[in-house]
Amino acid sequence: MRFRCKRADLSQAVGVVASAVPARTSVPILQNIKVTAADGELTLTATDLEMGLRYSVRDVGIQKSGAAVLPAQKLNQIVRDIRDDEVKFDVDGKLCSIEIEGGQFKLTGADPQDFPQFPEFDEKKAVRINVDDFRDMVRKTAFAVSSEPSRYALTGVLFVIRENEARMVGTDGKRLAYAKKKIKGGPRDEVKVIVPPKALHLVEKIIAEGDEEIAFEFEETQMKAKTSAGTLFARLVEGSFPNYEDVIPGDPDKKVQVNPGELEYRLRLATSMTDDKSRAVKFQLSKDKLKLFARRITGEAGEASHEVAVKYAGPDFEISFNPDFFIDFLKVVAGGRPDVADSEADTKVEARAEAKADKAKGKKAAKEEKPKAPPPEPVEAPSTITLDLRDKLTAGVIRAGRDYIYLVMPLTIDV
Amino acid sequence: MSRETASADKPLTILHVDMDAFYAAVEVRDHPELRGKPVIVGGPSRSRGVVSSATYEARKFGVRSAMPSAQAARLCPQGVFMPVRMERYLEVSREVMRIFRSFTPLVEPLSLDEAFLDVAGAERLFGDGPAIGRKIKERIRAELGLVASVGVSYVKYLAKLASDLEKPDGFVIIRPEDVERRLPPLPISRLWGVGPKTESRLQALGLRTIGDVRAAGEERLVRELGDFGAHISRLARGEDDRHVEPSWDAKSIGAERTFERDLSALASMERELLEIAEDVGSRLRAEAVAARTVQIKVRFHDFRTITRSRTLERPTDITREIFDVARDLLQEKAGVKGARVRLLGIQGQNLAPPGTGQGTLFGEKSRAKERRLDKVIDALRHKMGHDAVVRARTREESR
C-alpha cells in the first residue's frame, strides 16, 4: 500500500477513530487502527469489540491500494506532531514508513487479516434522525445516566423512535432527564433501545460538516449509525429500562416559576456551604420567594442562605435536594454540557474540534493555534422554567419548554 | 485508695462500665441450674467453633474467649457448652444501655457489654462520678441480675484501665494523685492499643512496665515508634484527650460466622451471607438505626482476612438490600472464586436514623414490600424463636 494525503485530514480522521481504541485490552491487535486505501479513499477503522468506528478521508493520492494495521497511539501522535502539509505512507507487509520533508518514521504493524471485521450498514433498514435533534437530545439526557455498574440498564440512554417522535431518557435512579422531538418519517414499528452514552458521543464525532441527517440501523443486540464520513456500531445495553413515564408525578399543588440563570447562581452560592459527605440544600418556599439554605457541620463549618425571586402562590413548604442534580440540569438549560462521567469524551471532542479547525484553515494549518470550535448549534436559554412539587417524598418536576422534563428525588435529611 | 477528693480541673466524671463474662452470665441467669458451674458459650467443641464467653468458674481452668472450643473442652472437660444466642444478649444489652442512659445521654458503647459514660452535668441530680458508678453497678445487679465492673476516672484511658483492675465485680477509682502510684508497676499490655505485636517491640527495647515507658521518655519512644510512641507515652502519664462520643458514627452493627467446614461453592457462601444479613438487618431494626456503609469480611482457609465495603446512597435496614450489597462485594471484590472460605461476616457501619438520605425514583414499591416482610419475620422470631421462620433461599440445602 502506498499513498500520500493531507496531514490535517488524516490527523482529524485518526483523532476520531482513536476514541474507539480501548485503553486496556487483552486483545493486543485492538490497540491498532486499520487503514485501507482504495478508490481514492482512505478508510480508518478501530474497535474495542463493544463498539467500533470507521471514518473515511477523501481525495487521497493512492499509488498502490492495500491495507495496514498500525499502532493507534503512535500513529495519532505522529500525525499530530508533524508540521508538513502532506505525508506519504509506504506499507510493505507489516512494515510501514511514514515520510515527510527531511525525515521518516518506521512503524511495525500487525496483519490486516487478524483485525476484526466491521459490520456493514444496511441502507434498506435505515431510520433517519436530524443531526441537530440528535445532538440536542444527547446533550439533554446523557449526563444523567448511572455510573453504577450494578444498575446495568441505567448505565445507558433509552432511545425511542416512533413514526412522528423521538425520545431520549437518562436516569441514575435519583434523577431523570427526558427529552423529545417531533420528527417526520419515523419507523412504523417503534424502536426502543438502551444505548451506552459513549456510543452516542461517538456518533456525534462522525458527524461531518454539512450532514443534516444520521442514518441508524437497529438490530437485536447492536446499533449502527452512518454519516457522510463515518460509520459506528455499538453493542446495546441489555436489560429492561424502568417505566419512566410512571414515575412522573401528576397533580402537583405547588408550582414555582423561576429564572434558570438566577437559580443556578444562587444554588452555587449555597452549595459552597454544604457538607462534603451529604450534599443538601433546603428549598424554603413562601409567597413569591424561594430561600435556599445550606449548613456545613463538618470541617470548615458555616451556613449559607440565599433568596431567589420566583412566582409562587402555593402554601409555605420546605424540601431538600442534592444541589448537584439541579446544577447539572441548569447547565444544560443554559446551553452547556454537564461534566459527564466519561471524561475521555470531552478531551476527544476537543481534539476533533482542533483537527477540524486545522482542516478549515486548509494548507497553512498551524499546530500552535488552537481555536475553539463554535458550539454545534446555538441554544436559546429560556427565561423561565417551572418546578412542580407535591410532598417531601415525591420527585420535583422541572420543565424547560414542552419537550424537556427533569425529575429530581428529594433528600430526607435535616439541614 | 485515697480520700474522695479530686482536683477541679480533673473531675472524676468519666466512667467505663464493663459487664463481667457477659454472654456466659446471661446464660447462667436464664438457666439457674448452671449457677456455680463452668459455663462456656461458643460453638460446639467437636467442630471448629470458638469460645465467645466463659464464666469465671471455667476461666479457672484456663478457658479464654476466642480460644477454639475443642481446646476449651480439653482444658475443662466438665465444662457446660452453651450455644451463642446473640439476639438474647442484644436484648439484655439494650437493658444495660437503658440504665446508662438514665444517668447521662453521653454514652459511648464499645460493644454489647461495655461503654464509656461522661457524667459531667449529671452530678447535681445523681451525685459525683464515683456515686453514679456505684448506683449503676447496683441497678445492674438489682434489675438485671448481672455483675458489672466499673472504673471511674477523669480520662477515658484511666477509666477503662480502672474497670479492668479488679475484675470481676470490680469498682476502682483512679484519681489524678493515684496515677504516680498505680500506673508504673503495670505491664505494658495494659496500655490501650498495645497488642502482642507492639508488646514484643517494646520488650525488645527493654520496656516491660508502664514505669519503664515513662522512664524511657517521649522523645525516645517517638524516635523508635513514631506517632504511636507519643500516644503511649501520653497514656503512660495518664493523659488522654479523647472525648466520650455518643455519635452514631462511633458504632457499627455486625455479625459473622465461622464454618465447620470451609466453603468453596459460591452458592453456599451466598446462603450463609443471607443468614448473616438477616442477623445484621434484624439487629439494625431492633436498634432503630440504618447502615450507610455495608462491609463484608472474608477469612480464607489460611486465615488471610480481608474486608470490602460499599457506601450506599441512603442508609438501609432492609435485609434484602444488605444482602444484595454484601453479595455484590463477595462476587466482585473479594476474590472468593476457587478459594476456601472459613469465615464470613457483614457489618453495618456509618449508622444513621432510618428513612434518611437520597430518595429514589424506582423500586420504592418493592422496597416497601421488603420492609413489610422484614417486619413479619422480626415479629415471628421475637415470639417463636429464631428458627420459627427461615427465608426460602437459605433452606435450599441443609447445612
Name the residue in chain A with its Cα closest to that of B311.
Answer: A277
- Tell whether A146 is within 8 A of chain B (Cβ): no
pLDDT for A362 equals: 44
What is the band of A52 on the pLDDT scale with cuts at 50, 70, 90?
very high
CATH number at residue B200: 1.10.150.20
Of A251-255, A265-269, B84-88, B92-96, the one with minimum mean pLDDT is B84-88
Question: Could you tell me the residue ranges of all domains in chain A?
Answer: 2-108, 123-246, 248-339+380-408
pLDDT in tens, B223-254: 888 888 888 999 999 999 888 876 444 468 89
Considering chain A, what is the average pLDDT of its residues?
Answer: 88
Active-site residue B180, yes or no? Answer: no
Between the alpha carbon of residue A59 and those of residues A7, A10, A42, A62, B135, the distances in Å are 12, 11, 9, 9, 96
Residue A211 has pLDDT above 80, yes or no: yes
pLDDT for A344 equals: 41
**DSSP letter assigned to residue B341:** E
User: In whole angstroms, what is the distance from residue B369 CA to residue B318 CA?
Assistant: 10
What mean pLDDT comes out for the span A36-61? 95
Which residues does residue B68 pair with via DSSP β-bridges, in sequence order?
B50
B154/B206 same-domain check:
no
Shortest alpha-carbon distance between residue B350 and chain A (Å):
11
Shortest alpha-carbon distance between residue A241 and chain B (Å):
10
The partner residue sitting opposite B359, judged by closest CB among A171, A242, A411, is A411
pLDDT for A342 equals: 44
Do A174 and B362 count as a contact with CB atoms less than 8 A apart?
A: no
What is the band of B290 on the pLDDT scale with cuts at 50, 70, 90?
confident
Q: Which of B108, B114, B275, B278 is catalytic?
A: B114
What mean pLDDT comes out for the span A33-62? 95
B175/B229 same-domain check:
no
Cell of B29: 441467669
- Contacting A residues, span 237-266, partner chain B, CB-CB under 8 Å: 242, 247
Environment class of A21 (CB within 10 Å of its CB; exposed 0-12, middle 13-18, buried 19+): buried
> Is residue B114 one of the residues assigned to a domain?
yes
Residue B5 has pLDDT above 70, yes or no: no
pLDDT in tens, B294-340: 999 999 988 888 999 998 877 899 999 999 999 999 998 888 888 99
CATH class of A248-339+380-408: alpha beta
CATH number at residue B149: 3.30.70.270
What is the band of A358 on the pLDDT scale with cuts at 50, 70, 90?
very low
> Is residue B291 one of the residues assigned to a domain?
yes
Environment class of A140 (CB within 10 Å of its CB; exposed 0-12, middle 13-18, buried 19+): buried
Shortest alpha-carbon distance between residue B286 and chain A (Å):
21
Tell me the chain B residues in contact with residue A322 when contact means C-beta distances shorter than 8 Å: 358
**DSSP letter assigned to residue B68:** B
B5/B25 same-domain check:
yes
pLDDT in tens, A226-252: 999 999 999 999 999 999 988 888 877
Interface with chain B: mutation pick from A146, A150, A246, A248, highest number of B CBs within 10 Å? A150
Per the structure, the count of domains in chain B is 3
Which residues does residue A170 pair with via DSSP β-bridges, in sequence order?
A177
pLDDT for A206 equals: 95
B164/B213 same-domain check:
no
pLDDT for A361 equals: 44
pLDDT for B238 equals: 93
B189/B175 same-domain check:
no
> Is residue B314 one of the residues assigned to a domain?
yes
Strand ranges of the sheet holding B305-316, from the earlier edge strand across to the other edge: B253-263, B341-352, B290-300, B305-316
Q: Which residues of B337-352 are buried (b: 16+ CB within 10 A; e: fewer)?
A: eebebbbbbbbbbbbb
Tell me the chain B residues in contact with residue A393 when contact means C-beta distances shorter than 8 Å: 359
B173/B192 same-domain check:
no
pLDDT in tens, A118-140: 999 999 999 999 999 999 999 99
pLDDT for A356 equals: 45
The partner residue sitting opposite B358, judged by closest CB among A171, A247, A409, is A409
Between the alpha carbon of residue A315 and those of residues A256, A287, A398, B74, the distances in Å are 11, 8, 19, 74
What mean pLDDT comes out for the span A371-390? 70
**DSSP letter assigned to residue B146:** -
Q: Which CATH topology does A123-246 take?
A: DNA Polymerase III; Chain A, domain 2 (3.10.150)
- Tell whether A276 is within 8 A of chain B (Cβ): no
What mean pLDDT comes out for the span B351-357? 73
pLDDT in tens, A282-296: 999 999 999 999 987
Strand ranges of the sheet holding B80-82, from the earlier edge strand across to the other edge: B51-54, B39-42, B80-82
Direct distance between the N- and C-terminal alpha carbons of chain B, in angstroms, rounded to an integer = 55
User: In whole angstroms, what is the distance from residue A118 CA to residue A47 CA?
Assistant: 8
pLDDT for B399 equals: 39
Domain end (from B136, B161, B179)? B179
CATH number at residue B304: 3.30.1490.100
B148/B193 same-domain check:
no
pLDDT in tens, A304-348: 999 999 999 999 999 999 999 999 999 999 887 776 544 344 344
Supply the range of the domain harboring residue B334.
Answer: 252-397
What mean pLDDT comes out for the span A383-403? 92
What is the band of A180 on the pLDDT scale with cuts at 50, 70, 90?
very high
Non-local (6+) Cβ contacts of A85 within 8 A are A6, A7, A8, A363, A365
Dump strand ranges (E) for B231-374.
253-263, 290-300, 305-316, 341-352, 357-358
B70/B205 same-domain check:
no
B187/B302 same-domain check:
no
Residue B283 has pLDDT above 60, yes or no: yes
Shortest alpha-carbon distance between residue B234 and chain A (Å):
26
User: In whole angstroms, what is the distance from residue A245 CA to residue A118 CA?
Assistant: 37
What is the band of B2 on the pLDDT scale with cuts at 50, 70, 90?
very low
Considering chain B, what is the average pLDDT of its residues?
Answer: 87
Q: Omega before B168 cis (within 30°)?
A: yes
User: In whole angstroms, what is the distance from residue A63 CA to residue A90 CA?
Assistant: 10
The ipTM, to two decimals, is 0.77
B13/B123 same-domain check:
yes
- The amino acid at residue A136 is D
Do A412 and B355 count as a contact with CB atoms less than 8 A apart?
A: yes
Between B192 and B176, name the one with better pLDDT. Answer: B176
pLDDT for A238 equals: 92
Of A90-94, A409-413, B43-47, B124-128, the range with the highest mean pLDDT is A90-94
What is the band of B85 on the pLDDT scale with cuts at 50, 70, 90?
confident
What mean pLDDT comes out for the span A384-394? 91
pLDDT for A117 equals: 94
> Is residue B304 one of the residues assigned to a domain?
yes
B342/B215 same-domain check:
no
What is the band of B393 on the pLDDT scale with cuts at 50, 70, 90?
low
B171/B83 same-domain check:
yes
> Is residue B242 one of the residues assigned to a domain?
no
Residue A56 has pLDDT above 70, yes or no: yes
Numbered residues of chain B with Cβ closer than 8 Å to any chain A Cβ:
313, 328, 355-363
User: In whole angstroms, what is the distance from residue B205 CA to residue A62 CA?
Assistant: 80
CATH class of A2-108: alpha beta
Of A337-341, B97-101, B168-172, B196-200, the one with minimum mean pLDDT is A337-341
Shortest alpha-carbon distance between residue A172 and chain B (Å):
9
The partner residue sitting opposite A412, judged by closest CB among B356, B362, B363, is B356
Residue A375 has pLDDT above 50, yes or no: no
Q: Which 3-state string (H, E, C) describes A363-398?
A: HHCCCCCCCCCCCCCCCCCCCCEEEEECCCCCCEEE
pLDDT for B394 equals: 60
Do B362 and A393 count as a contact with CB atoms less than 8 A apart?
A: no
